[in-house]
Amino acid sequence: MELSRNKKIINTILFILLFSSCSFYSLKGSLPTHIKTISISPIINDSSEFGINDQISEIVLDRFVSENILDIADQDIADSRLNITIKKLDDKPYTYSYQSNSIYEQVEEYRIVVHAKIVWYDLTRDELLLESNRSAWGAYGTGLDISNDLIDNDGDGLIDSEDDNEFGSPRESAVRLAMQKLSDDIINQITSTW
């Protein structure tokens, strides 16, 4: 109860500060006015990648909360519902190089592509708001650490120590980066629907 009250006070103060400085911008303004809340269904994983549904679920929830797009609510009281199905995950060689003393190619970079279907329902008016197939990628090299592979692992123009999200084991990091990009894409799809 006390935490909720403190959160309301902090949110009110932030709103006043942002509004008074004329720098307040909300993505809520581009959404249908009757939709204030969203329920995110358990994410379905049709891919062979174990645990990927938990990763995307955590990232999407965090993004909705941090961006203050819609309030998260239980399905029985929410204005809308988001369904996400991870359809498949491709993990394939992406770039090759030739060794000077060999006729064989050597893989330099792999690219993981996560394919998902998103469906957003208006529960108040019982209508489909958005249905879309989306994909996002993350790249990794053949080394042991993604933070020194000299690859732009998420396409943001930064590599290694320049990029604060390039850390950890290569493949798992590439999956995480793809999930973050997919989450961004889902949020952009929802906020650009209107």
> Over the stretch 110-169, which tens digit does the pLDDT of each residue have?
899 999 999 999 999 999 999 999 999 999 988 777 777 777 777 777 777 777 777 778
CA–CA gap between residue 135 and residue 186 (Å, rounded): 10
Q: C-alpha angle 194/45/66, rounded to 5°?
A: 45
Decide: 86 and 113 in contact? Cβ < 8 Å. no
Q: DSSP H helical segments within 28-88, as ranges?
A: 52-67
Q: What is the pLDDT of residue 19?
A: 44
81 and 75 Cβ atoms separated by less than 8 Å: yes
pLDDT tens digits, 48-64: 999 899 999 999 999 98
Give Cβ neighbours of residue 104 (< 8 Å, ≥ 6 apart).
98
Q: What is the dihedral of CA 50, 135, 119, 175, to 10 degrees?
A: 30
Beta bridge partners of residue 57, listed in sequence order: none
- Per DSSP, the residues of 138-177 read EEEESSS-GGGS-S-TTSSS--GGG-TT--S-HHHHHHHH
pTM over 0.85: no
Enclosing H/E stretch for 180: helix 170-191
Task: Give residue 119's pLDDT.
Answer: 97
CA distances from 68 to 10, 105, 191 (A): 14, 48, 11
Task: Give the mean pLDDT of 20-25.
Answer: 38
Q: In this predicted structure, what is the pLDDT of residue 96?
A: 79
CA distances from 61 to 3, 38, 50, 52 (A): 20, 10, 19, 14
Domains defined along the chain, listed by start: 28-191 (3.30.160.150)
More confident residue, 5 or 175: 175
**In terms of C-beta density within 10 A (0-12 exposed, 13-18 middle, 19 or more buried), how is residue 146 classed?**
buried
Of the pLDDT bands very low, low, confident and very high (cuts 50, 70, 90), residue 17 is very low
Most confident option among 15-29, 74-88, 130-144: 74-88
